[in-house]
Structure 1
Amino acid sequence: MNAPFTSENIHELAPPDLVQADRVAGRMYTDPEIFELEMTKIFERTWVWVAHESELPKAGSFKSTFVGRQPVIVARDRKGRVNALVNRCRHRGASLCEQKTGQVNGFTCPYHAWSYGLDGALRGIPYPDGYEGVMEKGEMGLKKLRTESYGGMVFATFDDGIEPLEDFLGDVKLWIDRFMKQGGGYPLKVLGTHQFRFRGNWKIQLENTTDGYHFPIVHRSWMASVDAETAGMMSFMTDPAAVTHNLGNGHSVAQMVPEHSDLDIDDGSEPLQPRFASLVTELKSAGLGDTGIRKLVRAMHGTGFNLNLFPNVSMSISFLRVLRPVSVDETLIEHVALGPDGPADIVAPVNRERLRIHEHFQGPFGFGTPDDAEGWDRVQRGAQGAPDMPIMVNRGLTRETPSPEGWATSHVTDETGMRAAYDKWKRMMSDD
C-alpha cells in the first residue's frame, strides 16, 4: 500500500498516486488541473454514452449533447446509421444546433450558412467562387466521433483506436440485457428527461450509484412516503443476498433487490402490489392476458439493481442517470425516464404510472433527488477542508470474494463499486 497522504506531499503527488487501495485524496474533487486532465485522458479516450436509440426513431432525428465538455450532435442519417458529430461549424467555429432534440434534413450554420448532411458531410457553401483553389469541399465535413451501440444504448468516442464497444462493456452486457427486460416484453423507449446541476465534482455522483450504504439514511423521507411493500422491497441493509459486483473496466452493479435482477425468472409466488390494482383492471380492459399483465406490473419499479457504467451513465433500477462534468466543482445531471413502447391502449396506462413513480423519487420535486444532491454538495464543501485527510472507500474491503463469474463481490452496502471506478480512473490517468 502507498504511503499515507500528508499535508506535505498531497499537493506534490501525481494524479494516479492520489488513488490507493482503500482511499482517495480529496484533492481529486477540488484541483482544476486534475479536472482538465480528466477531460482529455478519460472523457476523450473512452466510450461515453450519448443517446438511447429510441431518441433517434427515424432519419433526421437528432439530439444535442456533450462528450465531456465538447458539444456534439447525435443524428440518424438516411441510411439508418447513427452519427455523433462535433457541434462546431468547420468555417468559423459557430455552433450549428442549439435545440435539444428535433427532426431535420441537415444542419446549417446560422453565421455564414455552410450546410452539412446528417452524416456530417459538407453539402453547400454560399457564394462558393471565393473558395476555388483554396480548399477541397470533401475535406471540410464535421468532425465525426466513432459511434457504436449495444442494447439500444449509443456510445461515442474521440479515440478511433479504442477497443470495440462490446469489449469495453465486457460482462456489463449481461446486465444491460437484464435491464431492458423491464419493458415487459416490449422494447424500452425514453418517456422524458429533466436536468439539474449540483455544486460538486462529477466523481461524487459517479460514486453514488452503487453506494447502498447511504440509502436508508439519506432517503428516510422517501421510505416513509411509500407503501409497506415498496419500503420492504428496498430494505436491503441486512440482506446477505444483496451484493455489489466489480464488473471490470470501472463498471459495477449493485443488486438491491436480487429477486428482481432477472425479470424473466418468476415462479408466480410474488403477489402483485395492491397499489397497481386499478392498472391491472385497465390492462384487462385493453384485452391483455394475465401473463402479459404480470410481466408489466411486476416490472413497474424497474429492475432490482443499479448498473454503473464508467464514466458517465448509470442504468438505475428503472431510469438512466447521465452525468456531465461542467467544471471541477459543477456537474450537470440528466435523469431519463423509461417505459415500454407498444400498443397505445396497453403501454399508455403503464407509462403514466411509471412516470408518477419516477417523479416521486427522481423528479425535481421528488423525495430522492433533492436529498442526494444535498449530500453531493456537502461532500464538495467538506473536501475543501484538511486536504491531507483522505476520502475513505474501504468499507467491505476485507470481505470481498470472487463470485462464480470471477467478479470481486461484497455486500451491497460496501464500497466495491467505488474501488472499481477509481481503479479505472487511476489506470486512465496513468496512460500517457
Structure 2
Amino acid sequence: MNAPAQPIHFHRPVSELVQSDKVHTSLYTDPSIFEDEMEKVFRNTWVWVAHVSEVPDVGSYKTHWVGKEPVIVVRDRKKQVRVLLNRCRHRAATVCEHKKGKANTFVCPYHGWSYALDGSLRGVPHPESYGDILDKAEHPLVNLRVEEYAGMVFATFKDDIEPLSDYLGPAKKWMDLFMKQGGSFPIKVGGEHRFKFPGNWKIQLENTTDAYHFPLVHRSFLHSVDKQTEEMLDFVGGKGYVEDLGNGHSVMVMIPDLIDLEADLERPIPDRYTDLAEALRAEGHEEAKVRQIVRAVGGSGFNLNLFPNIACSMAFFRVLQPISVNETEIHHSVILMDGGPPAGNRARLRMHEHFQGPMGFGTPDDSEAWERVQAGAQAGRDLWVLLNRGLPAEKKTADGVAGDVSAETGMRAAYQQWKKLMTA
C-alpha cells in the first residue's frame, strides 16, 4: 500500500522544508503549515502549561492554551493538578474566562451546566427536559494527560505518548539547576506580563538560544548596566556553548561560572549586589545564606529551551503562544523566592523589569527584531533561512551535540524535532 502523499508547500514536500543547515522561509509564512503544526506538533507532544506555584491550593486555577485550544489548569479536591479543555460539553461555550483565580466549580454562563474541579458534570438546570437520555457521567470536561517534573506541569492530548521524564531526557538536569534560583526557598511565579508581536512562533523559539544577536540587538541594555555586568555579559566568543539535548530541547550556556548557583559561594559578591547583601544582613541572615541568596537573585548563566513552548531563561520563564501564522503572544513570568527575603525578591523584580518589562532595555528590542524577520520573510518566493553557524565545529557529547555559544545548534535541534513530528 502506498504511503499518503505529503502536502506540498512552495513546490516542496514538508519533509524537504527542514534540512541540516537551513529551513525554508515558508515555515514562517504558510498558513497551511501553521494549521498542520497545531495538529501534528501541539497535539502530539508534551506542552508546558503551568508551574505548580500558580495552582498552589485546592480550587486554584489558571487558564492557558495547548496550541490554539483553551484549557484550565486547576488543582482538584484530591490536590491533583488537572488540565481541562475550557469548553462546555453542551454548546461549547468556555466555562472559565479569568486568567487565574480560585473556584469551587466551573459553571457555563450560557446554560448553567456546572462542573466539579476534576471536570465531572455535576448539575444541569431543568434536567426533566432530558428525561432519561442524558447521562452526566458521559459528558465531563475533557481531561488531558498531565505529568510534572521539577514543579513544571506539562499536558498532552496523546494518551500513548512516552512518559514526560523520557521526553525531557538530559534536559532534566538543567531544569534541576535552574530551580536553584530559589536560594534554598521554593521558587514561585510572581506574576507575568503578556504582549503580542506580528510574527511566527518559531522566530521567538529560535531567539532563546541565539547568542549571536546579543551584543547588537541589546546594545542599549549593555549601556544601561555597570561595567562589571557588561563584561560578564560579553559572552560571544567566550567559553560558553550550545548543546542539543534531544527531542528539540537545547541549552545555551552563556556564563559557565553560573551554571550551578550553589557552587563556589565564597567568590566575592559583585559590586552591583553590595547593597542587597547589606540589606539581607540587616534582615538577620547569616553570611552563608546572604551569599546563597545574592547568587540566586542574579539568575542562572544559561537559557534552557524545552520544545515546543517554554524557555527557562536566566531569571524568568518565557512562554510562547501561537495565535496565527504571523502572530504570537509571549508570556514573561518573573521567578521569586517563595517565603524568601523581601529584599531579594524586590531585587529580582527590578532585574526583571530592567530587561523584560514593557519599558525594559531587552525584550522590546527583541520583539522589534522578530517583527522585522516576519516582514522580511514576505520577500522572495523560494528562499531559505540559514542555520549553519557553528556547524563545522560541532562535537558529539554524552547528551547530543554541542557548538560554541553563538552556534545555531539549538535552532537546528528544534527544527529536527519539528520535522520529526510534522512527518510522522
Give the C-alpha shift of residue 285 in structure 1.
2.0
1: CA distance, partners of 2:399 / 2:205: 23
Who is 1:224 aligned against? 223
Instruction: Indicate whether 1:248 and 2:246 are aligned.
Output: yes
1: CA distance, partners of 2:37 / 2:383: 22
Show the 5 A alignment for 1:274-423.
Answer: 274-342=271-339, 346-403=340-397, 405-423=398-416
Give the C-alpha shift of residue 157 in structure 1.
0.6
2: CA distance, partners of 1:227 / 1:131: 70
Give the C-alpha shift of residue 280 in structure 1.
1.6
Name the amino acid aligned to 2:100.
Answer: T
CA contact (8 A) 1:49 1:156 kept: yes
Who is 1:29 aligned against? 28
Give the C-alpha shift of residue 386 in structure 1.
1.1
- Shifted more, 167-176 versus 225-234: the winner is 225-234
Who is 1:66 aligned against? 65
CA contact (8 A) 1:242 1:258 kept: yes
Who is 1:4 aligned against? none
2: CA distance, partners of 1:406 / 1:186: 29
Query: Residue 298 and residue 397 in structure 1: after superposition, are their counterparts in 2 closer, same or farther (change >3 A)?
Result: same
User: What SS class does the counterpart of residue 180 from structure 1 fall into?
Assistant: helix
Name the amino acid aligned to 1:206.
Answer: L
CA contact (8 A) 1:10 1:388 kept: no
2: CA distance, partners of 1:149 / 1:413: 31
Q: 2:261 aligns with which of 257, 260, 263?
A: 263
2: CA distance, partners of 1:10 / 1:170: 33
Query: Residue 55 and residue 406 in structure 1: after superposition, are their counterparts in 2 closer, same or farther (change >3 A)?
Result: closer
Please list every run of 5 or more consecutive structure 1 residues that lacks an aligned counterpart in the other structure. 1-8
2: CA distance, partners of 1:30 / 1:268: 51
2: CA distance, partners of 1:79 / 1:337: 28
Give the C-alpha shift of residue 10 in structure 1.
6.3
User: What SS class does the counterpart of residue 299 from structure 1 fall into?
Assistant: helix
TM-superposition CA deviations, 1:12-49 (whole Å, max 9, x none): 21222100111100011000000000000000111100
- State TM-score, norm by structure 2: 0.97
Name the amino acid aligned to 1:352.
Answer: R
Name the amino acid aligned to 1:12.
Answer: H
CA contact (8 A) 2:208 2:303 kept: yes
Give the C-alpha shift of residue 203 in structure 1.
0.4
2: CA distance, partners of 1:183 / 1:387: 49
- State TM-score, norm by structure 1: 0.95
Who is 1:427 aligned against? 420
- Shifted more, 229-238 versus 357-366: the winner is 229-238
2: CA distance, partners of 1:170 / 1:15: 27
CA contact (8 A) 2:265 2:292 kept: no
TM-superposition CA deviations, 1:306-354 (whole Å, max 9, x none): 0000000000001000000000000000000001112xxx521111110
Who is 2:115 aligned against? 116
CA contact (8 A) 2:265 2:291 kept: no
Percent of pairs identical after alignment? 54
2: CA distance, partners of 1:316 / 1:427: 25
Q: What is the aligned residue count?
A: 417
2: CA distance, partners of 1:255 / 1:176: 13
TM-superposition CA deviations, 1:174-214 (whole Å, max 9, x none): 00000000111111001110000000000000000000100
CA contact (8 A) 1:10 1:387 kept: no
Who is 1:5 aligned against? none
Who is 1:106 aligned against? 105
1: CA distance, partners of 2:153 / 2:399: 27
Give the C-alpha shift of residue 267 in structure 1.
5.4
Who is 2:5 aligned against? none
Please list every run of 5 or more consecutive structure 2 residues that lacks an aligned counterpart in the other structure. 1-7
User: What SS class does the counterpart of residue 62 from structure 1 fall into?
Assistant: strand
CA contact (8 A) 2:237 2:405 kept: no
User: What SS class does the counterpart of residue 213 from structure 1 fall into?
Assistant: coil
Give the C-alpha shift of residue 406 in structure 1.
3.8
